[in-house]
Amino acid sequence: MVDDQPVKSPDDAAYFVHYIDNAMRWLQESGRFPSEAAKQEVLDAFREGKQAFVDLGL
């Protein structure tokens, strides 16, 4: 926080959104999971993380 205001950087948030998109693409194409349910659980967690960065700065 700066002056009691949250610090937001649209550029940084966009970087992490892009990074998460690339990671999700890799997980979907090359990731190995014990089950389809496990794969979806991981992808859902990545989607939640991505949304957090979208909410922070985009």
Percent of the chain scoring above 90 in pLDDT: 67
- Helix boundaries (H) for the chain: 10-30, 36-57
Q: How confident is the model at residue 10, as a pLDDT?
A: 85
Calculate the CA dihedral of residues 40, 42, 48, 51 and round it to 10 degrees.
-90
Sequence-distant (6+) residues with CB within 8 A of 21 are 50
Q: How confident is the model at residue 28, as a pLDDT?
A: 97
Query: Residue 9 has what DSSP assignment?
Result: -
pLDDT at 44 over 90: yes
**45 vs 21: CA distance, rounded Å:** 12
Over the stretch 9-36, which tens digit does the pLDDT of each residue have? Answer: 888 889 999 999 999 999 999 999 999 9
Domain locations along the chain: 10-57
